Structure 1
Amino acid sequence: MTVLPAVPFPAVVPGDPRPDAPALTARGPFPVGVLTLTVQHPDQLDVVAALAQPTLPDPLPRSERRLTVEVWYPARLADGQLEQIHYADRVVPAPGQPATPLEWLGRAVRDAAPEPQGGPHPLVLVSHGYPGSRYLLSYLCENLASKGYVVAAIDHTDSTYADLAAFASTLLNRPLDDQVVLDRLDALSAPGSGSPLSGLLDTSRTALIGYSMGGYGALNFAGAGFAPQTLAFVPGGALAGRLSGAYTVDPRLKAIVTFAPWGGPSAVRGLGVPAAEFGVWDAEGLAGVRVPCLFIAGDQDDVSGYRDGVRALFERAVHSERRMVVYRNARHNVAPNPPPPAADTLAPYMHYAEPAWDARRLNDLNCHFVTAFLNAQLKGETEALTYLDAPDGPGELKGFPARTSLGIELHRRPAR
């Protein structure tokens, strides 16, 4: 076990709350450990290799798909261990431009001893945007782990800053990646697995958090089957297994959180093929979601769209008990870490920044609202949902210091 030296660390790192943070933003009682896993998914359709051929091969080639997964968990620290960590990442500002190395700082300990007390802990899967990485929401992953969750963030192959490839791979593989990682973590949690995660997590209480393309995958994973038109988006009819009625939702999934989920009509329009009524979905597909949902979006989202995008998806998931948090005047970047110092030119900076909102403020709000939702859905603390209720008439939102809940809308729809 490596013990970090007591060296100076920045006063503020991603995830540290502002003084005006709402009640559930603060970290929980557990120190946080983090480890890295590799998950193999054998014999998968390889649409990147297929599209690289002069003519589309039939059948499509298959290969092993490898995923890197970062797991944050409640930990037990040795004397002298400090919750200080560096996450190395990079961003490509635009196609053909060189990558900009980035470094995220955090408050966790690499390969720390797991804390079994209070466990086994619920599992939260995290799925990044396109492009993105498993570190994109590290502030939220650390925060939830400190509150008694095991949090697993996936590097989706062909969809990260490091290996961005054909978009068709992302469209096909998001829900499939979520499934194989859930299955792998379930195996590692079993007694006698030999993994540090043995006995630490309870996959029967699983939630999935998805941002942008991760939200697209989360909705499909939760039962929003794609409309038949989507078969044109990926070669060889490869999406057939994710159409409405073609698959069964994993019963271990108890809730999803979707930040700015991609897939509405305005988002799909650029793919150049006919879209369904609600982008990749139709009304029947969205009605297939039956687990509770939390949508989080900006009402000026110009990537996923708001009125015909996130808001329409929220309204049409009619069989889900669902809630929505709206940040007024925010665009698409409502979920990520703040821009790191190395993102000091416009293109990489705007990959993370929100023009009308302070990123630390959004991080605080996300930690607060996601904690309330997951505590209710995965831990049975149903009173936590009152933090997601709008006041009757003018007034402050519950859990907010006086005069600090400006610019936030809360919406609720019952399951039909």
Structure 2
Amino acid sequence: MKAGMSELRSSRRVRANGGVRPAREYDPFVRGRFPVGVRTIQALDKVRNRLFPCEIWYPAAAQHAGQDIAIGTQDFFTLPSGDTPRSQMAVRNATAQSGTYPLIIFSHSSGRWHRRAATFLCTHLSSHGYVVAALDHSEVVAVELAPRDGETDEQKTARVEACIANRVPDIRFLLDHLLGSAAWDSETNLDSTQIGIVGHSFGGWTALAATAVEWRIRAVAALAPGGSSQPKPGILPAKLTFAWGRDVPTLYLVAENDTMTPLAGMYELFERTPATKQMVILRRADHVHFMDNVEQEHETVRTMPWTGKLAWIPKEMQPIEHLCSGEQAHLFVRGLTLCHMDAGLRRQEEAQRFLLGDMEAELAVRGVDVIAHKP
């Protein structure tokens, strides 16, 4: 962490201290004008013989206005790793608002979190007129990729390599499936020329890796991504080529105190990215700040009985009360991710100007402390 902090100090820091408040004509931090619907579909990959549960968030018809933000009409679901129902700001099987919309793929991290790990972000994007889709990746649905009791080091290494190798094919399959004529029952059409991808952790690596082979991707948001050349012990050793062959606007949103993907690796990935790029660092934040239920999930991870190569994790994680709040983190992630997609996919001039402006001041007036990396 010392190396990361020394590099951190080399980034420019600007604080808002009584200056003129930034213009607010364009505000990506507030919820959009569309109510949000959500559906779950089952997508069969006949080539690999795998059935993928997929979540699709979409702009819903006006008749659902307010239902997505009211507890009584919101969708509730239970994660496979727990038995406590969670809500998301979307209406289950709501009538879709007819129209043609950009598509954003969300790729989840590894471990206990699946396709609904960041509903705070996916629903926010859909409220602004995006269709967002996420599947449970192969390591979740394929029995042969699940950990086995008593597996040898060689067997574990082979399994991990297979999990990594299946990630990009998962994304390509999902795109093919969604862009097919009968992917899901809806009045919503997808604009195949406006496709973005967002991923967190292993999903961040997936987003960056998929861009090298999937030319339909036009914008990338990588949230605390894996893929650095020197991962910490036990962290997936996934590599990146960055052989993109074109300019794909890329936004890195990373955490100052990230235990699992430290800042040194984020700087490395940023420097290697051969595209128009920006990186913004959320201060007093860790790896779990990019997910739903930040406070609860962070403390769950910090107090888990990690063993083997991952035994260092709880020793290095700070208690959540020493870090920024989940509310601050969610505002940071959803606002800047939306702005990046508006600028990169929709070519909205207001969003492009916002990204070129003083993002540190914009976040500061909203109570969020960030550093815009200026290499």
TM-score normalized by the length of structure 2: 0.75
Question: Within the alignment, does 1:385 sit opposite 2:365 as a pair?
Answer: no
Mapped partners of 1:120, 1:409: distance in 2 = 36
SS of 1:167's equivalent?
helix
Aligned counterpart, 2:91: 109
Cα distance in structure 1, aligned partners of 2:235 and 2:296: 34
Q: Is the 1:102–1:342 contact (alpha carbons within 8 Å) kept by the matching residues of 2? A: no
Q: Which residue of 2 aligns with 1:215?
A: 204
What's the CA shift for 1:35?
Answer: 0.5
Match of 1:409 in 2: 371
Displacement of 1:291: 0.8
Residue 162 of structure 2 is matched in structure 1 by 169
Q: Is the 8 A contact 1:87 1:135 kept in 2?
A: no
For 1:288 and 1:194, the matched residues in 2 are separated by 28
Change (3 A) 1:412 1:123: farther
- Counterpart mapping for 1:62-81 below 5 A: 64-76=49-61, 78=63
Please list every run of 5 or more consecutive structure 2 residues that lacks an aligned counterpart in the other structure.
1-23, 69-73, 148-158, 306-313
Give unmatched runs, 5+ long, in structure 1. Answer: 1-21, 45-63, 92-99, 224-248
- Secondary structure of 1:256's partner? strand
Letter in 2 for 1:280: K
Pick closer, same or farther for the CA change 1:262–1:344 going to 2, 3 Å: closer
- Residues matched between the structures, number: 318
What are the Cα deviations for residues 61-120 of structure 1, in whole angstroms up to 9, with x where unaligned? Answer: xxx1221110000011547982211121143xxxxxxxx32332122111111101xx30
Q: 1:217 to 1:147 in 2, by over 3 A?
A: same
In structure 1, the partner of 2:104 is 124
Q: Does 1:334 pair with 2:294?
A: no
CA contact (8 A) 2:281 2:371 kept: yes
Bigger proportion of residues as helix? 2
- Letter in structure 1 aligned against 2:277: R
Q: 1:155 to 1:76 in 2, by over 3 A?
A: same
**What is the rounded CA distance, in whole Å, between the counterparts of 2:330 and 2:354 in structure 1?**
16
Question: Please, which of 306, 323, 328 is the counterpart of residue 356 of structure 1?
Answer: 323
- How has the CA–CA distance of structure 1 residues 79 and 102 changed in structure 2, closer, same or farther, with 3 Å as cutoff? closer
Q: 1-side partners of 2:65 and 2:224: how far apart?
A: 40
Scaled by the length of structure 1, the TM-score of the pair is: 0.68
1:185-243 deviation line (CA, Å, top 9, x unaligned)? 000xx4xx3842354221221101010000111111111xxxxxxxxxxxxxxxxxxxx
1:316 match: 272
Q: d(CA) in 1 for partners of 2:94 and 2:179? A: 20
Question: For 1:291-343, what per-residue CA distance to the aligned partner results, in whole angstroms no more than 9, with x for missing partners?
Answer: 11111111322212321x111001111x2001111112322123101248699
Which residue identity does 1:89 align to in structure 2? L
Distance in 1 between residues matched to 2:291 and 2:297, nearest whole Å: 15
Distance 1:288 1:80 in 2: 41
After TM superposition, the structure 1 = structure 2 runs for residues 6-405 of structure 1, keeping only pairs within 5 Å, are 23-44=27-48, 64-76=49-61, 78=63, 82-83=67-68, 84-91=74-81, 100-116=82-98, 119-131=99-111, 132-159=113-140, 164-165=146-147, 166-187=159-180, 190=181, 193=182, 195-197=184-186, 199-223=188-212, 249-267=213-231, 270=234, 280-281=239-240, 285-286=241-242, 288=244, 290-307=247-264, 309-317=265-273, 319-339=274-294, 347=303, 355-389=322-356, 391=358, 397=360, 399-400=362-363, 402=365, 404-405=367-368
Contact kept, 8 Å, 2:97 with 2:188, in 1: the verdict is no
Using the TM superposition, give the Cα deviation of residue 398 of structure 1 relative to its aligned residue in structure 2, in angstroms. Answer: 5.2
Secondary structure in 2 matching 1:286 = coil
Structural RMSD (CA): 3.2
Instruction: Report the AA paired with residue 211 of structure 2.
Output: A
DSSP 3-state at the match of 2:29: coil
Q: Aligned equivalents of 2:60 and 2:235: distance in 1?
A: 44
SS at match of 1:67: strand
In the alignment, the residues of structure 2 paired with residue 271 and residue 367 of structure 1 have an alpha-carbon distance, to the nearest angstrom, of 26
- Partner-residue secondary structure (3-state), 1:124: strand
